[in-house]
Amino acid sequence: MTIRPIILGGLAAILFSSSALAARMDLTIGMVLEPPGLDPTAEAAAAVDEVVYANVFEGLTRIGPEGAVKPALAKNWTISDDGLTYTFELREGAKFHDGTSFDASDVVFSLDRARAEDSTNAQKALFSAIEKVEATGDTTVVVTLSEPSGAFLYNMGWGDAVIVAPESADTNKENPVGTGPFKLDNWQRGSAITLTRNADYWGDQAKLDTVTFRFIPDPAAATAALLAGDVQAFPNLPAPEAIAQFEADPRFTVVIGSTEGETILSTNNKKPPFDDVNVRRAMAHAIDRQAIIDGAMFGLGTPIGTHFAPHNPAYVELSETYEFNPEKAKALLAEAGFEGGIKATLKLPPPSYARRGGEIIASQLRDVGIDLEIIPLEWGQWLEQVFKGKDFDLTIVSHTEPNDIDIYARDDYYFQYENPDFKALIDKLNVTADEEERFALYRQAQQIITDDAVNVYLFQLAKNGVWDAKLNGLWENSPVQANDVTGVSWSE
Amino acid sequence: MSEHVNNTETEGWRTFRKNALRNRNFLIGICLTGFVLAIALISFIWTPFDTTKLVISDRLNAPDLTHLLGTDHFGRDILSMVMVGARNSIAVALLAVGIGIAIGVPLGCWGAAKRGFIDEILMRSSDIIFAFPALLSAVMITAIFGPSATNAIIAIGIFNIPVFARVARGAALTIWSREYILAARASGKGAVRITREHILPNITNILVVQGTIQFSLGILAEAGLSYVGLGTQPPDVSWGRMLNEAQTMMAIAPHMAIIPGIAIIVTVLGLNLLGDGLRDLLDPRLRRER
Amino acid sequence: MAYFIVRRMMIVLLTLWVASIIIFAMLQIIPGDPAQLMLGINATDDAVAALREQLGLNAPLFERYINWMSGMLIGDFGYSYTYGTAVGNLIAERITVSLPLALIALALSTLIAIPVGIFTASRRGTATDTSAMAITQIGIAIPNFWFAILLVYVFAITLRLVPAGGFPGWETGLWPALKSLLLPAIALALPQAAILSRVTRSALLETMAEDYIRTARAKGLPARRVLWHHALRNAFIPVLTILGLQFAFLLAGTIIIENVFYLPGLGRLIFQSIQRLDLMVVQSVVVLLVASVIFINFLVDLAYAWADPRLRRQG
């Protein structure tokens, strides 16, 4: 009988010892998707950047929490009057995690590698304006552009443009070697990635010793993990249904920010009957955006009327262009010659905004005579059938790349919109450097695609950040896909 | 002759009924199964609310007098969904059992009749199918052909084939060794005719028992597949799907998860009890002793 | 016996080989391009083509099968497209979760079921027996994933006794790791325990009805003693068989449970790999699981043959 209390006491000691620490130096962040690899210059998956951006890898510039361009490995820069020559002054004393030093040759290597013919960089367009990259000293790099590019400094702040070392470039996928304040400690595949503080960092030391990214795709498991304290932060919780509960709980901070994700009912503009603008307008009138936001996203999300983020200064409020009006929708359909109704398919990728939103949209469109068959797809199948094969009528997807209205000018893009005027507009935009002019062009672009009702614009995806109330310094919005933990710390 | 047969049949039926009324498993099983079947049938003509109509403003209501079992996140009535879900779950499981019987029983009988090489091939093939954990293959099948109720039926059905093939073969083998079969063969009856006239009628009981068990496994399998999103797809309703949707809302609307779970348990329990009861009542071994 | 074993081994190898062809063939028709999936929707066609070449996706079908199989034979499971690491490493990493989970679940199920089986068998027909058997009937009918959801809700979210999911890794210590396997193991074990206790009970009752037991009873040995000393030993074969089958089931059947608790095990690896079209991983893990099922069945066969010499001749 005397043995039992001892065992119990021992168990209790093991149980509670970890929570008895005074100042926390560790953080576990929840993420939905696990990155396939950790090289942002070779992989497009947002999850890669969400682990390594700013934490492990740095570029010449970086994007701050508000979306502004800030210096990173480039201390400062000068731009020639014709806008073609950028001279970057580099940081001295920066080192890669493997101990090799960082200098101008690494920048030349990285940029040349990214824009090379055989490069597998997923965002080669970022580098398309570059004509040549030269090191004019150990800490000076001159980049010459073939034409002025208003977004060049911003582009250099993307995760795809980070600086890597020639020695480690090929193995970064598994063993990322960057210059950032954190380095890879351990990757438990399928579960978590742990970063530890890089004591040799050139700038301010990180305030945390270790940061673990834990991958929890399932909304229920994610909610449970936060509630149980297994993860202390979920920068974008995939369970909007749980937000109200966290808001009511004083242990948590809930920050509803905005993402760059325009969630749209993507429409195959070349496939009858959706090649008829009246049919597309009818759909826009038939859909009650607020019901979708309430029912699928539990009220989280901003209605949009065009392919542009509402927090962008150039945004035009067009969400009332096609007000919710089923009668008008029916009339438009009748006018287009579809009184008898339309049968079509709705292909849905896995995220809950698509699956839940799809059910509501199918129900709303059924009310005006458009009968949708729902076909759920895995991402692989979606890419193959919808994105590459263009074998679809309707789909729901969130376009999460920032400032991506130019996709409407792309030849052969999956929703197959073709409008020479719009293309001309984007061409003009690409060579315009003046901000005011650019904004004006952006506004025109938004108006055109809304008038053409290319897709049904549903809502801007919210960033449902939930974290421990004692955590400071996490980003509220996501101007780039990143979980920058360099400035994060625990209070007390 | 025919009168004589009729007499034994009625007598057999009478004994069956007498025993059945004393068999607790059978009674409880048939009541539960009958209840679920009745609900599924009623759902074809009437449900309290329309499950295809989403009323977002009524969402996540706890059970009350209007919605006896509450509403889900789209404002649909959960009682109505459980009723409609019953018929989907039953349809999937029943069709999967049908596939198993339609293909497995002839194969099993064939193997038992021919023995030798064909039998060996059939049994080895069923070994191979058995080596694939059922859920794993279902995941692969739905990954290839896309998730849908039809593919769930096929995936579950494929696993019923070797089950029925083996049961049919085993039972048929014991009958082939009986003397009256030898007599039938001696009188020039072919294998097909013997199987039809003598084997099949004698293995029906054991197939009914196995069918009940596979039916209940089918209900569980459908629920599992739909729960991971590979079975029934929206806007169709199934218990597994309801659980899938409910899981994230456990903290705000636990009724959404608890109710479909209970529906599954009641159905599976009913079928298992019915299967046990039928085995007691129909088991050929017991009958031989009598 | 030697002939029997050799013959069974040949069959095992043949089954494995056919299974490998089926798996390989099935995965070839999964729609989707892994290279496109890895690079995402804004990747250029050139980048996708370059990656396809790099991944060896352009080689002919037959060549890829031969490469895969010959690799497997020397323990090389190939290279994961998406994880950028050897599949063997991935499996080695994941099996440290799935195997202990299956073992704990099996142990739990045995620890619950055997005593329940013995207890109810020795009190056949009593109210305890009847109610225990009623409970096992309900246990069999409970879907384990539903039970898992309830467990998480009660023990992790409401009472906060154990983590709601995830796996901290064995390097964090035995207790934290075990703690996170506890709920999933219970969820897996309960329905299995219900089945196993029924099997134990009926196996015991069956042996109790055998002649030699009746003889022992007739000799005047007390019922309990006969149960413990004679019946139990002989009822063990069917129980072991079921245990063998359950282990195979548990190892593979963790797919759903691993997803509920987001455990980084083999089941979740398959799920993720199918979603990412990482065919090399799917192939290898499925073959591994199928092989382990075949192997366990083989062992069960051996146990049967050992117990019942008549079966050896039949093969």
C81 within 8 A of C280, measured Cβ to Cβ: yes
pLDDT tens sequence across C255-300: 788 878 878 888 888 887 887 778 888 888 888 888 888 888 888 7
Residues 6+ apart with CB under 8 A from A362: A346, A372, A374, B234, B235
The residue of B56, B74, B81, B144 whose CB has the most chain A CBs within 10 angstroms, and thus the best one to mutate to test that interface, is B56
A139 within 8 A of A206, measured Cβ to Cβ: no
pLDDT of residue C313: 54
Closest to A193 (Cα-Cα) out of A36, A401, A11, A397? A36
pLDDT of residue A315: 92
The residue of C27, C37, C48, C57 whose CB has the most chain A CBs within 10 angstroms, and thus the best one to mutate to test that interface, is C37
As given in the structure block, the two tokens for residue B194 are: 């013997």
pLDDT of residue A9: 41
Q: Which residue has the tokens 């013997």?
A: B194
Cα A233 to Cα A235: distance, rounded to the nearest angstrom:
6
By CB neighbour count within 10 A (0-12 exposed, 13-18 middle, 19+ buried), where does A198 fall? buried
Beta strand pairing status for A342-348 and A394-399? parallel
pLDDT of residue A442: 93
State the nearest Cα–Cα gap between C255 and chain A, in angstroms.
Answer: 13
Which CATH superfamily, name and number, covers B26-51+78-289? Answer: MetI-like (1.10.3720.10)
**Interface contact flag, A295 B73, Cβ < 8 Å:** yes
Residue A133, CA distances (Å) to A117, A125, A129, C227 in order: 15, 16, 11, 86
**Interface contact flag, A374 B235, Cβ < 8 Å:** yes
Residue of A nearest to B244 (CA): A220
The residue of B51, B236, B248, B250 whose CB has the most chain A CBs within 10 angstroms, and thus the best one to mutate to test that interface, is B248
Cα B273 to Cα B209: distance, rounded to the nearest angstrom:
11
Closest to B201 (Cα-Cα) out of B68, B109, B66? B109
As given in the structure block, the two tokens for residue C30 are: 């999964």
**Interface contact flag, B235 A359, Cβ < 8 Å:** yes
B254 within 8 A of B260, measured Cβ to Cβ: no
B:185-204 residues touching chain C, CB 8 A cutoff: none
Cα C304 to Cα C315: distance, rounded to the nearest angstrom:
11
DSSP for C125-155?
Answer: TSHHHHHHHHHHHHHHHS-HHHHHHHHIIII
State the nearest Cα–Cα gap between C58 and chain A, in angstroms.
Answer: 17
DSSP for B178-239?
Answer: SHHHHHHHHTT--HHHHIIIIIHHHHHHHHHHHHHHHHHHHHHHHHHHHHTTSSS-TTS--H
- Domains of chain C by range and CATH? 2-87 (no CATH), 91-314 (1.10.3720.10)
pLDDT of residue B2: 40
Q: Is C142 on the interface with B (CB under 8 A)?
A: yes
Q: Give the 3-state secondary structure of residue A200.
A: coil
Q: How many residues does chain C have?
A: 315
Residues of chain B contacting residue A242, judged by C-beta atoms under 8 Å apart: 248, 251-252
Cα C131 to Cα A273: distance, rounded to the nearest angstrom:
64
Nearest to B233 among A239, A350, A376 (CB): A376
Flag whether the ipTM exceeds 0.95: no
Residues of chain A contacting residue B73, judged by C-beta atoms under 8 Å apart: 241, 295, 298, 356
Residues of chain A contacting residue B229, judged by C-beta atoms under 8 Å apart: 350, 376
**Interface contact flag, B133 C145, Cβ < 8 Å:** no
pLDDT of residue C40: 61
> Which of the other chains make 3 or more beta carbon contacts under 8 angstroms with chain C?
A, B
**Interface contact flag, B124 C15, Cβ < 8 Å:** yes
Closest to C166 (Cα-Cα) out of A229, A272, A376? A229
- pLDDT-based confidence at residue C307 (cuts at 50, 70, 90): low
> What is the average pLDDT across C192-221?
81
State the nearest Cα–Cα gap between A140 and chain C, in angstroms.
Answer: 30
The residue of A218, A227, A234, A241 whose CB has the most chain B CBs within 10 angstroms, and thus the best one to mutate to test that interface, is A241
Cα B250 to Cα B248: distance, rounded to the nearest angstrom:
6
Q: Which residue has the tokens 């002649």?
A: C211
Under-70 pLDDT residues of chain A: 1-23
pLDDT tens sequence across A381-409: 788 789 888 999 999 999 987 778 989 99
Cα A374 to Cα A395: distance, rounded to the nearest angstrom:
9
Residue that wins the pLDDT comparison between B209 and B259: B259
Residue of A nearest to C82 (CA): A36
pTM of the model: 0.79
DSSP at C230: I
Beta bridge partners of A86: A79, A143
> What is the average pLDDT across B62-86?
89
b (16+ CB within 10 A) / e for A274-296: bebebbbbbbbbbbbbebbbbbb
Residues of chain B contacting residue C290, judged by C-beta atoms under 8 Å apart: 131-133
Closest to B156 (Cα-Cα) out of B217, B79, B66? B217
- Model confidence at B132: pLDDT above 70: yes
Cα A185 to Cα A210: distance, rounded to the nearest angstrom:
9
Domain ranges of chain B: 26-51+78-289
DSSP at A357: H
Q: Is A371 on the interface with B (CB under 8 A)?
A: no
pLDDT tens sequence across A194-242: 999 999 999 899 999 999 999 887 787 788 788 777 899 999 998 888 8
Cα A183 to Cα A52: distance, rounded to the nearest angstrom:
9
Beta strand pairing status for A370-376 and A342-348? parallel
State the nearest Cα–Cα gap between A378 and chain B, in angstroms.
Answer: 8
pLDDT tens sequence across A403-429: 789 899 988 899 999 999 999 999 888
Q: Is C34 on the interface with A (CB under 8 A)?
A: yes
**Interface contact flag, A189 C83, Cβ < 8 Å:** yes
Q: Is A431 on the interface with B (CB under 8 A)?
A: no
pLDDT of residue A6: 41
pLDDT tens sequence across B233-276: 877 889 999 998 888 787 778 889 999 999 999 999 999 999 88
- Model confidence at C312: pLDDT above 70: no
**Interface contact flag, C138 B132, Cβ < 8 Å:** no
- Domains of chain A by range and CATH? 24-32+176-257+463-490 (3.40.190.10), 46-171 (3.90.76.10), 260-462 (3.10.105.10)
> How many CA atoms, within 13 angstroms, populate the side-chain half-sphere of residue C146?
30
Residues of chain A contacting residue B54, judged by C-beta atoms under 8 Å apart: 291, 295, 359-360, 363
Q: Which H or E run contains A213?
A: strand A210-215
Bond preceding residue A5 cis, omega within 30 of 0:
no
pLDDT of residue B85: 93
Residue B119, CA distances (Å) to B109, B169, C19, C109, C312 in order: 9, 9, 19, 36, 18
Kindly report the backbone phi and psi dihedral angles of residue A102, in degrees, each rounded to the nearest multiple of 5, phi listed first. -95, 130
pLDDT > 90 in chain A, percent: 55
C:188-217 residues touching chain A, CB 8 A cutoff: none
Residues of chain A contacting residue B234, judged by C-beta atoms under 8 Å apart: 355, 358-359, 362, 374, 376
Cα C173 to Cα C313: distance, rounded to the nearest angstrom:
50
pLDDT tens sequence across A236-290: 998 888 888 888 888 899 999 888 889 999 999 999 899 999 999 999 999 999 9
pLDDT tens sequence across B215-240: 998 999 899 888 888 888 877 889 99
**Interface contact flag, B54 A381, Cβ < 8 Å:** no
Residue of B nearest to A222 (CA): B248
- State which amino acid sits at residue A406: D
pLDDT tens sequence across B99-108: 999 999 999 9
Size of interface A-B (CB pairs under 8 A): 64
As given in the structure block, the two tokens for residue C58 are: 């352009």
Q: Give the 3-state secondary structure of residue C288.
A: helix
Mean of the per-residue pLDDT values of chain B = 85
> Which of the other chains make 3 or more beta carbon contacts under 8 angstroms with chain B?
A, C
